[in-house]
Amino acid sequence: MNSIRTAISLPWDQYQRIEALRKKLGLSRSSIFQKALNSILKYYQDRESIRQYLAGYCRDPENTAETQAMAQAAADAFQAEDLK
């Protein structure tokens, strides 16, 4: 994987907390920042996916027949389960 080197500025107290955590976890500085950035990117990607899902649902919500069919399918699945 190609990588680039970059520099950032942090408040001293935040730097100390990050250093303590990375040492506790046995991670390099690069690794802990990569993990943090991956978490942020995933968070925003998930938010966008949810936004798109909700927008689609608002454009084309389930109708009563679909809702009833799903409820019946779920009830049938539970009846077929051996709940012993």
For position 82, what pLDDT does the model report? Answer: 62
Helix axes 29-59, 12-25, angle to 10 degrees: 100
pTM, entire model: 0.66
Helical H segments across 26-63, by residue range = 29-59
d(CA 25, CA 54): 38
Q: Which tokens belong to 9?
A: 């500025």
Q: Which tokens belong to 10?
A: 């942090």
Share of the chain above pLDDT 90, in %: 76
CA distances from 22 to 17, 32, 33, 62, 63 (A): 9, 6, 9, 47, 51
Summarised one tens digit per residue, pLDDT across range 24-60 is 999 999 999 999 999 999 999 999 999 999 999 899 9
For the chain, which residues make up each domain, given as ranges? 30-57
